[in-house]
Structure 1
Amino acid sequence: MRNRLVAILVVMAALTVSGLAVPWGVSSATARTQELWFSRYVDAEWFGDLAARAITTGDQSSLMLAMQRYSDLYGDRVIVVDAAGREVANTGVATDDPAVVASLTEARRNRHPRQPPERLHLYGPSAMLVSLPVGSGIRVDGAVLIEASTKTAQRDIRDSYTVIALLSFTAMAVFALVAVLVSRWILGPLWRLSRSLRDLTGSLPRPVAGTVPTVMQRHYRGPPEVRALARSFDTMARAVTESVDAQRQLVADTAHAIRNPLAALAIRLESLERFIPGEGTAAYQRAKYQVDRLAAVLDGLLRLAVAETPTGFAAAHPDADWPSECGVCPVVKDRVEEWRPAFEAAEMTLDLDSSATPDLTAVAIPAQALEQIMDVLLSNSSRYAGPGAHSRVTVEPSATTVRVAVADDGAGVAPKELDQLVNRFFRGASATAGGTGLGLPIAVALANRYGGELAIESVQPRGLRVAVRLPLVQ
């Protein structure tokens, strides 16, 4: 691609330089031709005045002297003839030259040219004929002709062409250098990006043994660098997809391997409870609490892995036939009623802003995913807002989205901790109730997958608001 780009830029530069150099050369040659012509035309008029007096008086001495000096000075030859075409004075013009005869004849007929007949060339004729009639008005007493040498003018034209050629070659060299630099500037990021993609792809985990790698059946057209970059993107996408699938499979296998021993351990702990003496009851309860917490963490990791997996719920539940959209109001009302007893047990109140829950267009998220997000938001509020707090759920529709928020006037969170609440396993300093620190990351992953976003903000004078904005089905 670099060679093609450089070639295109050089060709365009060559066309531009040629478009400037050729008219410049033509203009230079034309100007030099006109300069020679008009200077000799003025000289011919002066010889015409001398010739008119010489023909009238019959004294050619002054005319001959002027013509001889002119020839010695400029190297041009001059001839003067009378009205009948007889030679009056001549400094070396060949009278048998057909061009000379024709030019004198036209001048005696008073039909002489008043501008250069043609532009001089490097290898054109060595002389330029300039003829004028002798006389006044319509009366023609003869003709004068100057056979001007074009060597000096041709040398000047050649010098102009040389300067133009040198400037053109210099400009082309500069343009070629600029083309190379521009091509490197344009294509350099593509090369570096392609190399980075190859390095990144090589660092990704390999597919699990026994799985069949995904094959990208794509054929690209275009420059080699762009095709290589596209293939690198495909390879990276394939590797990332296989890596994510391998990660999900690993989480599933790990969960399957840990759950059974963990469940057996919990059963054994429960069966041992009646054998625990009174002084060991506290240690027993702590051990049982840790087993329950480990089970909760495991469940949270499984839900987070499912939420962050591109195949999502379909991968975790291949037999389920869930619609990809749902109505917001029914889901929100159902989860509020489901969680109301938990809030009452925590000595809190929970209500739904019914004025902001009209019938809405469905949102582009499965009902089960929205339920899981609402469970996270309501669970956090019931656990951490504190006794006596009041929580309110609001649904605010707009033209293209709907915003579902759970706000409370409880203990709240320190401002410096707000951005960290979506980090895995992070729990705020004021969080005294149990938890794994995976709820909000799960909600964020679910919202992001379906084109939504989750925001956390403080409520004044105290409290916390967690809101999720989801796109409406268009």
Structure 2
Amino acid sequence: MRNRLVAILVIMAALTVAGLAFPLGASSATGRTQELWFSRYVDAEWFGDLAAEAITSGNTESLVLAMRRYHDLYGDAVMVVDSAGREMANLGVPSDDPAVIAMLTEARRNRHARQPPHRLRPGDPETMLIAVPVGRGVRIEGAVLIEASTGEAIEDIEDGLAVITILSWTALAVFAIAAVLLSRWILGPMMRLSSSVRYLTASLPRPAATVTAGAMQRHYSGPPEVRMLAQSFDSMASAVTESVDAQRQLVADTAHAIRNPLAALAIRLESLERFIPEEGAAAYRRTSYQVDRLSSVLDGLLRLAVAETPTGFAAAHPDGDWPSECSVRHVVTDRVDEWQPAFDAAEMTLGVHFSSVPDDLMVAIPGQVLDQILDVALSNSSRYAGAGAATRVTIETVEKHVRISVADNGVGVSPAELDQLVNRFFRGASASAGGTGLGLSIAVALATQHGGDLSVESEEPRGLRVVVRVPAWTTQDKR
């Protein structure tokens, strides 16, 4: 691919250089040709004035002397004839040349010399004929013809073309080097990416036949290396997707498989409670607590597996034909009312504040999903903030998002633990017994799945704040 790209760039550079060199060479040759013709035309006009004086006076000595000096200086031949075509003076012009005769005849008919029809080129004749009439107005007394040498002009044109050719090849070489460097700069990362993708694809489990067939149905255009990279990326994406789905399915299947034996174990423990002697009651209660905690962990894993699946929520609730938007005021008010008894029991206060939020403000997230996210934040606040703390739910709009914060002035967490609160199974040092460490991980997965995010921050002067940011519902979302 690199060779093809270099070839394309070099061809484009060659066409560009040729497009500049040829007009420049032609312009240079045209200019030198016109310079030679115009200078000899002016000289012929000067000789015409001298010839007119010689014809009037009948003395040609001054004219012949000027012609000799001119011939010695420029090497050009000059010829003067009268109105009848008889030679008055001739210094080197072949008078029997048909071209000379034709041009003198044209000049004696009062037709001035015209510029040559084409520019001088290497290999053209070594002379150029220029003839002008002698006399003024319609009174023509003769004609002057200069046989100008084109050798020096052609040499100048050849030198100019040589310079243009050297500069063109130099520019083309520079362009070629730049094309090689540019191709390496552009294609280097892509080639490394292609190698990495092929290596990673080879190390992953092969996707199922249906997934592979779906990926291979795509047809790409472009260079073979780009098509190969695209196909390798498709294969890798299919393998990674299937691997992640298999991992999540494994978590869900494992949790489901363990729940039944765990439920049976809980029933057996409950049935054994009346047979436990007094000295084993403490051990029995600890065992029952661990069984209940394990059940909570399994439930959390199931919810997390559903939340981290792209279509997990709908797949887990196939019969729930829920809208993809909800009224944020309605959901927040409902959750605050639902959790008010829990906060009262924990000797805490719970309030809500709507910061200039309209009543009909909608967010692009299902109401049931927002319920789960707010339940996690309110549950943690009621359980861990501590008695006497106050929790406040605030709603505000920020650009195209709605920001919901659940802040308390409770005990909070240390700065070292703050960033770890959203990690799976992590529980702060001040956390009370009974939690699984999965609540915030589930909330983060749900918020991210619906285009939002969740963060945990410290509240000043003390306490904790959970901030949920979800997209506002717009008319474009309905399309």
Which category describes the TM-score, using the shorter chain as reference length?
Answer: 0.7 to 0.9
Residue equivalent to 1:129: 129
Give, in whole Å, the separation in 1 of the partners of 2:423 and 2:105.
Answer: 106
Residue equivalent to 1:289: 289
Residue equivalent to 1:169: 169
Residue equivalent to 2:240: 240
Q: Residue type matched to 1:98 in 2? A: P
- Tell me, what secondary structure is at the counterpart of 1:242? helix
Residue equivalent to 1:421: 421
Q: 1:306/1:60 Cα in 2 relative to 1: closer, same or farther (>3 Å)?
A: same
Residue equivalent to 1:335: 335
- The Cα shift of 1:381 comes to 0.6
Tell me which moved more, 46-55 or 77-86.
46-55
Residue equivalent to 1:315: 315
Give, in whole Å, the separation in 1 of the partners of 2:160 and 2:355.
Answer: 88
Q: Residue type matched to 2:183 in 1? A: S
Tell me which moved more, 4-13 or 28-37.
4-13
Residue equivalent to 1:187: 187
Gaps of 5+ in 1: none
User: CA deviation digits over 1:158-188, x for unaligned, max 9?
Assistant: 2221221221122122223323332333333
Corresponding position: 1:408 with 2:408: yes
Alignment of 1:341-420 (within 5 A): 341-353=341-353, 359-396=359-396, 400-420=400-420
Q: Residue type matched to 2:157 in 1? A: I
* Residues 77 and 148, structure 1, Cα contact 8 Å, conserved in 2: yes
Q: Residue type matched to 1:363 in 2? A: V
- The Cα shift of 1:93 comes to 1.8
Alignment of 1:9-408 (within 5 A): 9-48=9-48, 50-52=50-52, 54-60=54-60, 63-64=63-64, 66-68=66-68, 70-71=70-71, 74-113=74-113, 118-135=118-135, 140-206=140-206, 215-216=214-215, 217-274=217-274, 276-353=276-353, 359-396=359-396, 400-408=400-408
Q: 1:206/1:111 Cα in 2 relative to 1: closer, same or farther (>3 Å)?
A: closer
Q: 1:361/1:230 Cα in 2 relative to 1: closer, same or farther (>3 Å)?
A: farther
* Residues 103 and 112, structure 1, Cα contact 8 Å, conserved in 2: no
Give, in whole Å, the separation in 2 of the partners of 1:349 and 1:66.
Answer: 121
Give, in whole Å, the separation in 1 of the partners of 2:46 and 2:368.
Answer: 109
- The Cα shift of 1:301 comes to 1.7
Per the normalisation by structure 2, the TM-score is 0.86
Per the normalisation by structure 1, the TM-score is 0.87
* Residues 364 and 471, structure 1, Cα contact 8 Å, conserved in 2: yes
* Residues 427 and 437, structure 1, Cα contact 8 Å, conserved in 2: yes
Q: 1:132/1:295 Cα in 2 relative to 1: closer, same or farther (>3 Å)?
A: same
Q: 1:355/1:13 Cα in 2 relative to 1: closer, same or farther (>3 Å)?
A: closer
Give, in whole Å, the separation in 2 of the partners of 1:344 and 1:128.
Answer: 115
Matched pairs, number: 473
Give, in whole Å, the separation in 2 of the partners of 1:138 and 1:212.
Answer: 97
Give, in whole Å, the separation in 2 of the partners of 1:473 and 1:88.
Answer: 104
Q: Residue type matched to 2:443 in 1? A: A
* Residues 80 and 144, structure 2, Cα contact 8 Å, conserved in 1: yes
Give, in whole Å, the separation in 1 of the partners of 2:404 and 2:51.
Answer: 111
- Tell me, what secondary structure is at the counterpart of 1:95? coil
* Residues 329 and 361, structure 2, Cα contact 8 Å, conserved in 1: no
Give, in whole Å, the separation in 2 of the partners of 1:232 and 1:366.
Answer: 36
- Tell me, what secondary structure is at the counterpart of 2:214? coil
Q: Residue type matched to 1:288 in 2? A: S
- The Cα shift of 1:400 comes to 4.6
* Residues 395 and 402, structure 1, Cα contact 8 Å, conserved in 2: yes
- The Cα shift of 1:445 comes to 0.6
- Tell me, what secondary structure is at the counterpart of 1:451? coil
Give, in whole Å, the separation in 2 of the partners of 1:195 and 1:400.
Answer: 40
Q: 1:129/1:399 Cα in 2 relative to 1: closer, same or farther (>3 Å)?
A: closer
* Residues 214 and 238, structure 1, Cα contact 8 Å, conserved in 2: no
Give, in whole Å, the separation in 1 of the partners of 2:380 and 2:266.
Answer: 26
Q: 1:206/1:97 Cα in 2 relative to 1: closer, same or farther (>3 Å)?
A: closer
Q: Percent identity?
A: 73
Give, in whole Å, the separation in 2 of the partners of 1:65 and 1:362.
Answer: 107
Tell me which moved more, 239-248 or 325-334.
325-334
Q: 1:156/1:260 Cα in 2 relative to 1: closer, same or farther (>3 Å)?
A: same
Q: 1:341/1:131 Cα in 2 relative to 1: closer, same or farther (>3 Å)?
A: same
Give, in whole Å, the separation in 2 of the partners of 1:206 and 1:114.
Answer: 83
- The Cα shift of 1:58 comes to 4.6
Q: CA RMSD for the aligned pairs?
A: 3.2
- The Cα shift of 1:212 comes to 6.5
Q: Residue type matched to 1:345 in 2? A: A
Give, in whole Å, the separation in 2 of the partners of 1:11 and 1:408.
Answer: 69
Give, in whole Å, the separation in 2 of the partners of 1:396 and 1:134.
Answer: 100
- The Cα shift of 1:270 comes to 3.8
- Tell me, what secondary structure is at the counterpart of 2:419? helix
- The Cα shift of 1:437 comes to 1.5
- The Cα shift of 1:385 comes to 0.4
* Residues 2 and 184, structure 1, Cα contact 8 Å, conserved in 2: yes
Give, in whole Å, the separation in 1 of the partners of 2:55 and 2:356.
Answer: 118
- The Cα shift of 1:334 comes to 3.6
* Residues 307 and 442, structure 1, Cα contact 8 Å, conserved in 2: yes
Give, in whole Å, the separation in 2 of the partners of 1:396 and 1:45.
Answer: 94
Gaps of 5+ in 2: 475-479
Q: 1:363/1:204 Cα in 2 relative to 1: closer, same or farther (>3 Å)?
A: farther
Residue equivalent to 2:469: 469
* Residues 454 and 467, structure 1, Cα contact 8 Å, conserved in 2: yes
Tell me which moved more, 143-152 or 379-388.
143-152
Q: 1:416/1:17 Cα in 2 relative to 1: closer, same or farther (>3 Å)?
A: same
